[in-house]
Amino acid sequence: MTDQLNTPRLPIDTTKNSILTEPLVDSFGRKHTDMRFSITERCNFRCTYCMREDQRFNPSSLDLTPDEILRIASIAHGLGIRAVRITGGEPLMRKDVVSIVKKLKNVGFDELTMTTNASLLSHTSRGVTMAQNLKDAGLDRLNVSCDSLNPERFKKIRRRGTLQGVTNGLQAAYEAGFEEIKMNVVVIRGINDDEILDFAQFARMSSILGRECIVRFIEHMPLGETGDEQTSWTPDKVVPAEEIVNLIDSKWPIKIANHQGDHAPASRWSFDDGFGEIGVIPTMTNRFCGDCNRLRVTSDGTVVSCLFSPKEARFRLRDKLRTGCTDEEIAQVFHGAVTSKKAAQNRNLDEPTILESPGAYIEGGSRGAQGTTMSQIGG
């Protein structure tokens, strides 16, 4: 049985059972074509809005193996998933990340991307950077997380790592041939909201220099207890998307970009003079649930229909995989997750939904009072 489970399952035989090809459509008619796939909850940073400084992680034995990831992804592709974003934690913490990218590329997704803090992209193995290895393995695009362009503030927010490490990673990514990089900035009032124009200028200069970097500003979300009072979520720390757009527009006129994605959470804006582009993700002030087409799979094999799904709407796959389940059973888990999806989550400034733990555990006991973090579900 072990050999059977470790054997790559590509391609999936979809001729025997329609459940392997039935599109993932929820009760509200939303067709799901995107998947966020976390491959580890571990991270080399300890961002103050994301996790505690003393965060405990699952043992790596609980992470899905590359072949388990491949099997899940192949079945998801048969169900209509066409775009996959590899997330974490920090996905580059996995030593087999390049192998995982290769396996996912061979499934045939229309787009394969990754969210990373970029600090490890410039690291080399046998003279080749991680960025180049990822590009050669078939990764299409990178999303980079960076919340400050000030080295001291960066260190304060991230607790570990350096801004220079991130800029080195960006340089390595451009040299590897990644053309359009997206930079995610979580905006927190009183922490980094005074850098909004600096980031907009960064997007403009990147375009002028021929190295496109779309900066996406994200409203601060309630991501659970992180042990930092300054960045822990409160309504007054949310900088509304409208305020961000108006501020940038007052400095450099902008207009809605003409290539908005039907299901993209970010509204995209281009500068009138043609140099640069920004995005704004209104996670709190303008819910985009009605157009949601995404599912999440955590690093320990839990299918999550929404970032803010309650525990009862999260579905375990790992144990099924390791006890000889059929492809049809895995497909049924995906359909169950989609069926459980609500029309919208309660994400407002008065009574926001707080992230609940996906149910992951540490050998020997529960995580207890630490609660959930973004890294456990996948950013």
pLDDT at 307: 79
The strand pairing partners of 36, in sequence order, are 85, 296
For the cut 90, the answer to whether the pLDDT of residue 302 exceeds it is: yes
Q: What is the DSSP string of 343-362?
A: S-----SSSPPPPPP-S--B
Cα–Cα nearest to 172, from 117, 122, 115: 122
**pLDDT tens for each residue of 149-158:** 999 999 999 9
State the pairing for strand pair 111-116/141-145. parallel
**CA dihedral of residues 70, 75, 77, 83 (deg, nearest 10):** -50
pLDDT at 315: 87
133 and 175 in contact (C-beta within 8 Å)?
Answer: no
Q: In angstroms, rounded to a whole number, what is the distance separating the alpha carbons of residues 297 and 79?
A: 15
Q: For the beta carbon of residue 274, count every other beta carbon within 10 angstroms.
A: 9
Contact yes or no for 117/90 (Cβ under 8 A): yes
For tokens 């600096």, what's the residue?
198
User: Residue 224 pLDDT > 90, yes or no?
Assistant: no
Q: What is the pLDDT of residue 229?
A: 67
CATH of domain 2-377: 3.20.20.70
Confidence of residue 10 (pLDDT cuts 50, 70, 90): very low
The full set of domain ranges for the chain reads 2-377
Mean pLDDT (the chain, rounded): 86
Tell me: the pLDDT tens digits for 234-280? Answer: 899 999 999 999 999 999 999 998 765 556 778 999 999 999 999 99
3-state secondary structure of 304: strand
Q: Using alpha carbons only, what angle is made at residue 254 by residues 250 and 257, rounded to the nearest 5 degrees? A: 160
Q: What is the pLDDT of residues 92-132, one digit of tens each?
A: 999 999 999 999 999 999 999 999 999 999 999 999 999 99
With bands split at pLDDT 50, 70 and 90, how would you rate the model's confidence at 369? very low
How far apart CA 197 and CA 249 sit, in angstroms, is 10
Please determine, for residue 361, whether its predicted confidence score (pLDDT) is greater than 50: no
Of the two residues 4 and 38, the one the predictor is more confident about is 38
